[in-house]
Structure 1
Amino acid sequence: MAGTALAVQYRFYAAQVVGARRVGTSTIRVTFGGDDLAAFAGGGRDQSVSLFLPHPGQPEPVLPTAEGEDWFGAYRALDPAIRAVMRSYTIREQRPERAEVDIDFVSHGDTGPASRWANRAVAGDRVVLLGPAVADNRSVCFQPPDDTELVLLVADETALPAVGGILDWLPAGTRVRAWIEVPDAGDIQPLPGDARAEVRWIVRGATPPGSAPLVDAVRAARLPSGTPYAWVAGESSMVRGVRRHLVNERGIDRRRVTFAGYWRRGASEDALRAER
């Protein structure tokens, strides 16, 4: 599948694990490399990809041989017990000079195929990424208007890698206010960058994800003046609550609020794809 032209903006990349390490109580960072990734044209920020993982016992992900725009139909036609596990992730960091990308996995034991795979990942494990062939692609959602004077970032742990990528990308001196919810204090991590970022960490603990703490923290915040642009991502109900607050209570133009439900409590990614 490597090199197959899906469309002008995307292609498949064969890759393998270079290394894996814990970067927080709940987070595993896996580094992928391979010759194919020298052509990976990531746009930075919240660049997302589809990651294809093998089932236990398979040496590599099983994907259809069909090319072109109908690849997804051919993929869906394969036996679910055999076809590759497909999950969406954000690139945490890209190193083109080494043909490497990092993806952070939220670890929750063996309760999901991606978490199970990440907990056992070792150098040489093979995967396939469906990612950008051009840097200017529609999978980069963080698009602040030129007149933005203040960036607002709201995320849970699933969107933390995207926040890191955004802060890496923002020009020096950009004013940023960020609220990030994580399960454990051990998940708080450095977020380097040249932006003037004030980050508030909310440790969820035993509180269920998608509950009130993150929405309440944003609601209680006093924002500085300036034309804002907001980016909100994570559990769907949290995202809806924050967006409603920013638009209805703060009066921010809805066109200046980018929002993405990365997941929904109680539903797998496969179930969400089936709904769509």
Structure 2
Amino acid sequence: MTTAVAAPFRFFSLQVVRTRRLGPSLARVTFAGPDLGAFHSDGLDQSLSLFLPHPGQSEPAVPVELGRGSPGSSEAGSGRGWWQGWRELPDGVRAVMRSYTLRALRRDEDGNTAEIDIDFVLHGIGAPGHGATCAAGPAARWAAGAAPGSRVYVLGPAVADNRAIRFRPPGDTDLVVIWGDETAVPAACAIMESLPAHARARVWLEVPHADDVQELRTAADAEVTWLVRDAADGPAATLATLRGAQLPPAEHPYVWIAGESARVKQLRRHFVGERGVDRRRVTFVGYWRQGLTEEQLREQG
């Protein structure tokens, strides 16, 4: 007898239903699609692979047999073996792939996923009163121009508890400590919304502009500090702020750090080396690296 094992990830064909600017640096895009009923996630810092079209394309180019299979098929869109097929598509045609975290999902009356939100950092896209400080990448340009009906593919979770969720505090955790830059704000906010009332949390979130600060709702006993880079002196100021912070007393803290890779490593050293947090209780995720594109990061392994 053989046992069928569900693939943890699969392709979803989605389209934009609405967009909303959250601040000078962030935009929220809401997606829906007929096969989202198979999208299952426990939220938190759920990671996704997003496939975007190039300018002039009506939809992103992904391997046909992976992207356009029947939603009910066990193989079509399952995410198995897609990488090679995607890489073999011509440059300039192959869909732009970027990694994002799920900000939120909403279910229909039957409990199936009906919509998902993804928040985009608009690097290089100016907003009224805020000029661009760097060149815009393809994802930022796409998000800035996204409109209802715009099509994408998402390689996302088909099972709720999957390896692309990194936030996993041990059961004895008595304090959650979080730091994230603007790329980690969506995941950090989703995590905070999930914490129960008995949880304690100390949170630092760093954004480029004061207008990027968001209302963060949580049932937890949480102290949240927004750090605005306009008023800070870069990584050194962030480290100095955390070094000077007094954490609530805790026997079993858990630390989650996400954002620019070099800063994440620096802050991990602070919590492990300077504060004595057990390295096994520190989750650190480099979402991006200063000066490198996602393609360059992949080439480096």
- Whether the TM-score (by the shorter chain) exceeds 0.5 is yes
Residue equivalent to 2:200: 175
C-alpha distance in 2 between matches for 1:18 and 1:267: 31
Residues 15 and 129 in structure 1, CA contact (< 8 A), matched pair in contact too: yes
Residue equivalent to 1:62: 61
Q: Are 2:122 and 1:107 aligned?
A: yes
Q: Are 2:28 and 1:29 aligned?
A: yes
For residues 213-251 of structure 1, the C-alpha deviation after alignment (integer angstroms, 9 at most, x for no partner) is 222221111011111000000001110110000000100
Residues 202 and 213 in structure 1, CA contact (< 8 A), matched pair in contact too: no
Residue equivalent to 1:3: none
C-alpha distance in 2 between matches for 1:94 and 1:142: 17
| Pairs within 5 Å for 1:67-216 | 69-97=80-108, 99-108=114-123, 109=125, 111-205=136-230, 211-216=235-240
Amino acid at match of 1:186: D
Amino acid at match of 2:117: D
Comparing 262-271 with 64-73, which one deviates more in the overlay? 64-73
For residues 19-72 of structure 1, the C-alpha deviation after alignment (integer angstroms, 9 at most, x for no partner) is 011111210000001111122101210001000000001000100135563210
C-alpha distance in 1 between matches for 2:153 and 2:55: 15
Instruction: Report which of the two structures shows the higher radius of gyration computed on alpha carbons.
Output: 2
C-alpha distance in 2 between matches for 1:270 and 1:52: 13
Q: Which runs of 5+ in 1 are unaligned?
A: 1-5
For residues 8-27 of structure 1, the C-alpha deviation after alignment (integer angstroms, 9 at most, x for no partner) is 10010010000011111210
Deviation, 1:208, is: 7.7
Aligned partner of residue 168 in structure 1, secondary structure:
helix
C-alpha distance in 1 between matches for 2:218 and 2:232: 30
Residues 243 and 257 in structure 1, CA contact (< 8 A), matched pair in contact too: yes
How many residue pairs get matched? 270
C-alpha distance in 1 between matches for 2:248 and 2:92: 52
Amino acid at match of 1:216: A
Please, what TM-score do these two structures have when normalized by structure 1?
0.94
Please, what TM-score do these two structures have when normalized by structure 2?
0.86
C-alpha distance in 2 between matches for 1:55 and 1:7: 32
Deviation, 1:119, is: 0.5
C-alpha distance in 2 between matches for 1:163 and 1:132: 19
Amino acid at match of 2:209: D
Comparing 95-104 with 16-25, which one deviates more in the overlay? 95-104
Large movers: runs of 4+ above 4 Å: 206-209
Aligned partner of residue 146 in structure 1, secondary structure:
coil
Aligned partner of residue 244 in structure 1, secondary structure:
helix
- CA 1:150–1:60 in structure 2 vs 1: closer, same or farther (change >3 Å)? same
Residue equivalent to 1:264: 289
Amino acid at match of 1:105: F
Aligned partner of residue 35 in structure 1, secondary structure:
coil
Residue equivalent to 1:15: 14
Q: Let me know the Cα RMSD of the aligned residues.
A: 1.6
Identity of aligned residues (%): 54
Amino acid at match of 1:148: T
